[in-house]
Amino acid sequence: MSIKIHVLHCGQVRVDSSLPFHEKTINPFSYTGILRSKRHQTWLPVSAYLIEHPKGLVLIDTGWHTDVRTDQKKHLGFLHYIINKADLPKGQAITEQLEQRGLKPSDIDFLVMSHLHSDHASGMKLVKEAKKILVSDIEILDTQKNKIAYVPSMWDGVKFDTFKFQQSNYGNEKLAFDLFGDDSVVFVSTPGHTMGLASTIVQNNGKFVLLCADTGYAKKSWEQMIMPGVMVDKKKVISSLEWVRQMSQQQNCIEVIANHDTDIKPHTIEL
């Protein structure tokens, strides 16, 4: 039995160039775009991953909600509207892409969130009928400790459960959550960008793909150790990126995919 991973782009996000790739600048808030000229602005894809697994249909992250097409300021709130602008062309919302595949939100067995930043959690309400929605308990703590970084109205009324990372051989933290208990879809704790950030290993037939969420923003992040602009713990970012680099060098690694890498186009991987 094979596993299929569909890399989907659910719109794009416009941010300051120092948000994906930390820059040495005297402006400590450069990643917000405040006091920075428009020439620093850049568009990045916003990805979600649909995994067709023999044990169920798994969705990772949700991309932008369709509300961003009509009232972005209200959906994002003032602060997040300043930091990022959303673009969601017709046909790219997660529900529209499910429909193109003949699927409904209620067909999703597991929606697992890599973390809850707005460009990942925006569409949660669109797929709230998923059978089970999971967020790491550490990420939920983050949303309470670091309120300004999140837009909780995005998951208002969405029923979800939390999962706990358990001791594991994966990740520099040695903490992971094995979704099916068979090592085929494993959410690995890769903190730094947020404390609850989860990367995903999908493996089958001796090969694996690593979906590393926002641990880094592109291949050069782990190849050249370029930190993201948004970090809650720099040391942990470095250690998580080091782990991603080690994984990328393994012989049975098919691809390592960062959520917002402009070099990654929507495609399907079969394992």
Beta bridge partners of 176: 166, 188
Q: Considering the complex, state which of residue 16 and residue 214 has its C-beta at the smaller distance from Zn ion.
A: 214
> Does residue 119 touch Zn ion according to CB under 5 A?
yes
**Between 16 and 119, whose beta carbon lies closer to Zn ion?**
119
Smallest separation (angstroms) from Zn ion to the CB of 5: 18
At 1, the amino acid letter reads M
Q: How far apart are CA 69 and CA 57, in angstroms?
A: 28
Using CB under 5 A, which of the segments 118-126, 153-161, 195-203, 261-269 binds Zn ion? 118-126
**269 Cβ contact partners less than 8 Å away, ≥ 6 residues apart:** 4, 5, 7, 209, 254, 255
Query: What is the 3-state composition of the chain as percent helix, strand, coil, each rounded to the nearest 5?
Result: 30, 30, 45
CB of 67 or CB of 119, closer to Zn ion: 119
Copy the structure tokens of residue 173: 């933290």
Under a CB-based contact definition with an 8 Å cutoff, are residues 12 and 44 in contact? yes
Count residues near Zn ion (CB under 5 A). Answer: 2
Does 261 bind Zn ion (CB under 5 A)? Our answer is no
Alpha-carbon distance of 48 to 63, in angstroms, equals 6
Least distance in Å: CB of 13 to Zn ion?
A: 7
Q: Which of 214, 218, 229, 256 contacts Zn ion by CB under 5 A?
A: 214
Select 190 or 203, whichever has its Cβ closest to Zn ion. 190
61 binds Zn ion (CB under 5 A): no
For Zn ion, the binding residues (CB under 5 A) are 119, 214
